Amino acid sequence: MKLGKFQIDVIVENTAYVDGGMMFGVVPKKLWSKDVQVNEQNLVPMDLNVFVIRTGEMILLVDTGLGEMLSERQQKIYGTAPESRLESGLAELGIKPDEVDYVIHTHLHLDHVGGAVKDDGDGNPVPRFSRAQHILQKLEWEAANDPDERSEAAYDKSKFMPLYDAGLLKIIEGNVELIPGIKLVLTGGHTMGHQGVIVESEGERLFLFADIVPFQSHIRPAYVASADLFPLETIKIKKELLPDIAQHGWYLGFDHEIDIKVCRIIDTGMKLVAEKVEV
Ligand SMILES: [Zn+2]
């Protein structure tokens, strides 16, 4: 899709299968199962959507999916084989990995950073995007390097230390305008250092708030993943952000939704609902 002068595309990097209870928190299955299909093991499919932003001068990615270098345990946790469509998806858009200028990591959970590295041929992870600066929040960097017991399984240092070692990490603090039209916003909520991206061109805006609103169901304030470390913060952000997006007719992207990658939010008077926009 076009957003002002910018070109926005989405690559479905892989599809993972995760526990429904993990994704919808305190909401009972009787309610959330109206929105998503579960398989026989009670697992919910979750796309790993990588947003590609081309400004005309710069190429940016928001998150990188799981990548190809998953251990057997990680394949079990995410319920998927390491069949990354990241490079083939970029190739379809005519983009080579070394042409990417920035990779924005909303946070460092494996399903958002795994694709940032590739196998060097000897089984060692090396940066895939050799020229790109990889942007993340300082609070996220600190949490990922010293994770609490609850988060430990979601962070894998072998997926982000190669970026650090190669000098490709740019660690920021708080809200920052990365380049004209690309703003990064520290959200907290899902993790303490989780950030969202606001893309703006010619008055149009696209909000990529990743795991704050991973599926369209999460537009409802009480739908908060049990994986979120600070669920009340997630609710607060959504209550501030989503009515504002609806009122202005801005766009919202989903990092894990299957059917809808980008939507407008419609206020029916009773509730907010997602209206699909073709990307
Ligand atoms: Zn996450």
Query: What does the pLDDT look like over 148-205, one tens digit per residue?
Result: 998 888 999 999 999 999 999 999 999 999 999 999 999 999 999 999 999 999 999 9
Q: How far is the CA of 213 from the centre of ligand 1 (A)?
A: 11
Q: How confident is the model at residue 41 (pLDDT cuts 50, 70, 90)?
A: confident
Q: How far is the CA of 269 from the centre of ligand 1 (A)?
A: 31
Quick one: pLDDT at residue 42?
Answer: 85
Q: pLDDT digits over 82-94, tens only? A: 899 999 999 999 9
- Sign of the torsion angle spanned by Cα atoms 204, 208, 209, 211: positive
Give the pLDDT mean for 234-250.
96
In degrees, to the nearest 5, what angle opens at C-alpha 46 toward C-alphas 248 and 69? 120
DSSP-derived letter for residue 173 is: -
Q: How confident is the model at residue 36 (pLDDT cuts 50, 70, 90)?
A: confident
Q: Which two tokens stand for residue 158?
A: 């072998």
Q: How far is the CA of 16 from the centre of ligand 1 (A)?
A: 13
Q: How far is the CA of 114 from the centre of ligand 1 (A)?
A: 12
> Total structural domains in the chain?
1
Q: How far is the CA of 109 from the centre of ligand 1 (A)?
A: 5
Q: How far is the CA of 194 from the centre of ligand 1 (A)?
A: 8
* Phi and psi, residue 55, nearest 5°: -90, -10
Q: How far is the CA of 246 from the centre of ligand 1 (A)?
A: 25
Report the 10 Å Cβ neighbour count for 202: 10
Q: How far is the CA of 97 from the centre of ligand 1 (A)?
A: 24
Q: At residue 82, what is the residue type?
A: P
Report the 10 Å Cβ neighbour count for 272: 16
pTM: 0.96
Dihedral Cα 92, 136, 210, 114, nearest 10 deg = 50
Q: How far is the CA of 220 from the centre of ligand 1 (A)?
A: 18
Tell me, what CATH number does 247's domain have?
3.60.15.10
Residue 93: domain span = 2-277
Report the 10 Å Cβ neighbour count for 1: 15
Quick one: pLDDT at residue 209?
Answer: 98
Q: How far is the CA of 120 from the centre of ligand 1 (A)?
A: 26
Q: How far is the CA of 106 from the centre of ligand 1 (A)?
A: 8
Q: How confident is the model at residue 12 (pLDDT cuts 50, 70, 90)?
A: very high
